[in-house]
Chains A and B, each alone.
Chain A
Amino acid sequence: MSGTALVELKNLEKEFAGTKALKGVSLSFLAGEVHGLLGENGAGKSTLIKILTGVYSPSAGEILLEGAPVRVSSPPEAHRLGLGAVYQDAELVSSFTVGQNILLGNEPGRFGVSNRAIHDEATAILAEMGIDLDAHRIAGTLSAAEMQLVTLATLFHRRYKLIVLDEPTARLSATESEVLFRIIERFKKQGVAIVYISHRLREVQEICDRATILRGGLVSGTLNRGEVTEDRVTELMVDRNRAELTTHNDGSRVRPEVLLEVTELATANLSPLSFTIRAGEVLGVTGPVGGGMEDVARALGGVVRHTGTVSLHGKSIDVGTPIAARRSGVALIPEDRRKQALFPSHSVAENICLPVLNRLERLLTIRPGAMRRYADDVMDQLAVRPRNAAIQVRFFSGGNQQKVVIGKWMSAGASLYIIVEPTNGVDVGAIKEIYDIILQLAQDGAAVLLVSSSLRETLALADRVMVIHDGNRVAEAPKTDWTYDELLAVTLSGKSKTAA
């Protein structure tokens, strides 16, 4: 292999509360190489990246940058060392033009700032990279995909040595992806190492020089270009030794009546989709991140603009806004708990009681005793620990926070629960408890729509599994018809089993 190791990871370990997410990963990234990183959810990919970009510090092991050991103690420190990542949002100055953004921090000229010079240079950069955008456009008016391309263009001046791209094509169309690949080519020529995380096998085959597959916190194998085949990757990814989750939905909860009927639901990233869920049934929706599965949840929860009709209990309902959806009996439990579902500096009791406050009032004032009792009751049912409703939610672990979010909606009596990535950031110990809670919701007769990129989770909880790839449903079948390997192959390739 030509090229020198730009970044070398030696025996990296990371332990979270007694569970090892990384068990000694040794890996090297070469200057000018595109290195694919693959693995199931929980294999340690995101932990590894967070260590590399300074979000976490490793429990053991070391990182060598150009041969010298470095301590990446914080994201700014990573930035200073030249280890960069493209964060999904918060990357552009929205009131600035595309050109001003591309050259931000590296404007031509010494003291004065000439907009003409900036736009001339930016236009040249855009042309060279094949991004068809006017450098004078205001960044705030760009589409999400255009923003992402401009964000990548801004990296040229940041002089990163290594750039982590996490599912970069998730929001891009085919042509835009081509532009992305050209940008990556240019970085390669500059000698930048690219760590490319993707669940789309075809991309990895197309652009990665090497690909490393993680499994259970260990490197399971590194493949050279040409060796990356569906069979090899599947074989390296699937963790045969991993203890199967003890939770299993045996399908006994499904009742005959159809509770939710969705017709021609479509958003900007989702082609028209129709499906039904019966009472007590869990429908698992999975696929690559950004491939459209998120939009099913967001549309039904009223968060994103959509077309199509939705009926619950045979009656057409309005899910145009979150308030309307909530009123119609739809509870959305979003992925980003801290931002979208919790009030971190309020107590558990205040969080749990929020949807049912009107029941706890007397003469327009909330009875603290009733609130406390209600919260205690919910906490008992969900085994939230520590069991003290007066503590602020932000002091709880990820798993217990998730229980609080579910607890918040549980007794509010929704007919449809939409649960997105329920165990993201949840400690291993709490996962089973959360699964049990979700199945209990189905047991009580609700319809559950589970959106998860974790195949194990989907197979453990769902009665039926639907795969969405590039905005299209590529497969749907009862869980019993799937094996883990088949499902993995379909999500990776985007081709349904029979067609493949």
Chain B
Amino acid sequence: MTQAEHESPAQAKTTQNAVTKTQSEGRKESAAMRFLRRWGTIIVLVLAAVGFSIASPYFATVSNLNNILFSMIVSALVSLGLTWVVIAGSFDLSIGLTVTTSSILVAFLIPVLGPWAAIAVALLAACLIGAVNGVLVTYGRLSGIVVTLGVMFVLSGINIFITGGYQVPVGYDETAFLYLGQGKLGIIGVPVVILLAVFLVALIAATRTRIGHYIAAVGDNPMAAFYSGINVYRWVILAFVLSALMSGIAGVIVTSISSSAQPVGGEGYLLEAFAAVFLGATVLGKGKPHLLGTLVGVFFLYMVDSGMNMVGFPFAARHIFQGLVLIIAVGANALLNREEVHLKFI
């Protein structure tokens, strides 16, 4: 038998080092890159704000900030809700219609049950929608897209059914209820305060409790979570419930803001929410959705909208800009965060 020629150990070692080095080089990044990844989205946001401030004297004012915040409330609540589901590794297309359903329910029930019970029922109904989504996605073994798409259609039918296609007004004497959407605390609108309160509670749940911890674990690697003794289905269902609950809150506020519930129109929030969630994933270089990022994302979209409006861009141009910002922000983040092989297209 021929004796195999042994490589000298030293020589083998150097080549091995060389190989490991080339492999780790891709991962090592300069401080500038790291800075850009972490703050890139925020920098663009600030630059855009500075640009608008220069172009329009009305942009950088307290009243405009107030306007932006007020206009983004519903969208922000829906987006925050969707963030839970995306973190859990699924999709929720039913959020927009959940807003409408909750909005209609509360408007219908106020004369019957009084405002507080009506709100409670509307929110419970929203949670029920979330629970149905969650159970079908887990125990029902259906994909999140399919389930929530189906639920979306069902809700849109129900909404038109119970309203007959007409709007549902809320009496002007319901001052307590209308205060939720139209009241003011100093110069800040009450719904803005509600949004911030919901955001803070959600943020604490996401970062300081088992809820956020386990939903993130389940979304990232359900198998690892399962083998760690975590009840995976429970947390996925909870993510859907939280998503629907936040859409439900949004629905209540919509009704209060406009003193009526519209049978259609909730669909629009859905796409905005997805844009905000994915834009938000790039904030602080996390590379995955998080609540603060989502809030920044929504603010970005509405700030740009307001700024372009003031500078006098047509409506169409605003959509083009928002679309491009989304693709560029997420794309730039992906470029900064190269995987070896990219084979996911969802």
A residues with CB within 8 A of B: 76, 79, 84, 90-96, 100-101, 104-107, 111-114, 141, 154, 157-158, 264, 266-268, 271-272, 305-307, 466, 471-477, 481-482, 496-498
Contact = CB atoms under 8 A, between A and B. Distances in A.
A227 B231 CA distance: 45
A369 to B, nearest CB: 32
A424 B117 CA distance: 64
Contact of A111 (B4, B210, B223, B226): B210
Interface string B205-221: 00011101100110011
Given A93-B221, A112-B209, A113-B209, A105 B1 contact: no
B335 interface: no
Given A79-B227, A92-B224, A498 B19 contact: no
A473 B4 contact: yes
A475 B220 CA distance: 44
A92 B18 CA distance: 28
A225 to B, nearest CB: 31
B42 interface: no
Contacts of B3: 475, 496, 498
Interface string B3-22: 11011000110011011101
A104 B217 contact: yes
Q: How large is the interface on B (under 10, 10 to 19, 20 to 34, 35 or more residues)?
A: 35 or more
30 contacts: A76-B226, A84-B227, A90-B221, A91-B221, A91-B224, A92-B224, A95-B216, A95-B220, A95-B288, A96-B217, A104-B225, A113-B209, A141-B27, A158-B227, A266-B15, A266-B16, A271-B12, A305-B19, A306-B19, A307-B15, A307-B18, A307-B22, A471-B12, A475-B1, A475-B4, A477-B1, A477-B2, A482-B1, A497-B1, A498-B1
Contacts of B221: 90-94
Contacts of B226: 76
Chain B interface helix/strand/loop/mixed: helix
Contacts, number: 111
B224 A101 contact: yes
Contacts of A477: 1-2
A90 B288 contact: no
B224 A104 contact: yes
B30 interface: no
B23 interface: yes
Contacts of B216: 93, 95-96
B257 interface: no
B22 A113 contact: no
A268 B19 contact: yes
Contact of B223 (A90, A141, A158): A90
Given A477-B2, A482-B1, A105 B230 contact: yes
A343 to B, nearest CB: 14
Contacts of A474: 4
B76 to A, nearest CB: 24
A477 B4 CA distance: 8
B228 interface: yes
B19 A113 contact: no
Contacts of B217: 93, 96, 100, 104
A105 B213 CA distance: 10
Given A154-B224, A307-B18, 4 more contacts: A84-B227, A95-B288, A113-B210, A476-B4
Contacts of A101: 224
- Give the one of A90, A105, A306, A476 with max B CB within 10 A: A105
Contacts of B22: 305, 307
Contacts of B312: none
Contacts of B18: 307
A113 B208 contact: yes
B229 interface: yes
Contacts of A473: 4, 6-7
